[in-house]
Amino acid sequence: MKPRTLVIGDIHGGLKGLIQIIERAAVTEQDTLIFLGDYVDGWSESAQVIQFLIELEQNQHCIFIKGNHDDYCEDWLREGELDKHWIFHGGASTLKSYEHIPDTEQLMHLNFFERMKLYHVDNQNRLFIHAGFTSMNGPSHEFHSTNYKWDRTLWEMALTMDKHIKKDSKFYPKRLLLFNEIYIGHTPTLNYDITTPMQGCNVWNVDTGAAFWGSLTIMDIDTKEFWQSDSLLSLYPNEKGRNK
């Protein structure tokens, strides 16, 4: 089997789901894994997910994109200050997962968050970013860096584009012309009652709602074949994740 490039959606503390998709996709050390961010906040194993990824990259070519939830955890590991918004949106489970993690390991995790990328462009002009960007000149020209982790306008635009508008039309969005393909997380496909990866124009959304009642997804970006975990609710039956 030739080396593959595999992209992984939002994990949100679901280590059991992460282990499942790596096994189901039969990942080898020759494969490149691109993680789209939001490793923490949701299920009970956020700290364990981070430790697993740190160990994984020792033998695997991995690219780690930073998500908005990762920002909160990084700030807490660095400053020790609690953001009330973070606590309400999954941070409480992350804090609990760190209760018995020694300071030396927490420092290692902080370094891991600090090394994450805001976005990645590969040699085939494919963009990997947690949420999106707003600049017509691309993410490198983005005025507010928080958009990498929070923007939803890119996905909403791609999803609702009039399919009759051709790429050479003046009406075609310039953001969508910058890259051959764009891979994002951040907005669960469950919002649209869909449990599998979604495509809008050249944008692929791989967040299939692992934070909630959905599954975690890993996708081969060349063939578009994908593998999914069991629902995270079934893997953590005594927990709520980010379900209210």
Q: What is the 3-state secondary structure (H, E, C) of the chain?
A: CCCCEEEECCCCCCHHHHHHHHHHCCCCCCCEEEECCCCCCCCCCHHHHHHHHHHHCCCCEEEEECCHHHHHHHHHHHHCCCCHHHHHHHHHHHHHHCCCCCHHHHHHHHHHHHHCECEEECCCCEEEECCCCCCCCCHHHCCCCCHHHHCCHHHHHHHHCCCCCCCCCCCCCHHHHCCCEEEECCCCHHHHCCCCCEEECCEEECCCCCCCCCCCEEEECCCCCEEECCCHHHHCCCCCCCCC
- Residue at 19 is within a domain: yes
Longest dimension (CA), the chain: 57
- Strands lying side by side in the sheet with 198-200: 119-121, 126-129, 181-184, 203-205, 198-200
Residue with tokens 């609702």: 160
Mean pLDDT within 235-243: 96
Please state at what angle helix 103-115 crosses helix 68-79, rounded to 10 degrees. Answer: 140
Confidence band, pLDDT 50/70/90 cuts, at residue 46: very high
Query: Does some domain include residue 88?
Result: yes
Amino acid at 146: T
Read off the CATH number of the domain in which 117 is found.
Answer: 3.60.21.10
Domain assignment present for residue 21? The answer is yes
- Record the tokens describing residue 63, joined without a space: 């690219």
Query: Does 244 reside within a domain?
Result: no
Q: How many domains does the chain have?
A: 1
At 171, list the tokens.
Answer: 């009406």
Distance (Å, whole) CA 43 – CA 90: 8
Residue 240 covered by a domain = no
Express each pLDDT in 27-42 by its tens digit: 999 999 999 999 999 9
Q: Is residue 59 part of a domain?
A: yes
List the domain range (segments joined by +) for residue 196. Answer: 5-235
What confidence tens digit (pLDDT) does each residue in 141-176 have? Answer: 999 999 999 999 999 999 998 888 989 999 999 999
CB atoms within 10 A of CB 224: 10
Contact 119, 98 (CB under 8 A): no
pTM over cut 0.85: yes
Q: How far apart (Å, rounded) are the C-alpha atoms in residues 71 and 144?
A: 15
Q: Among 215, 212, 211, which residue's Cα sits nearest to residue 195?
A: 215
Mean pLDDT of the chain: 96
Among 46-50, 170-174, 220-224, the range scoring the smallest mean pLDDT is 170-174
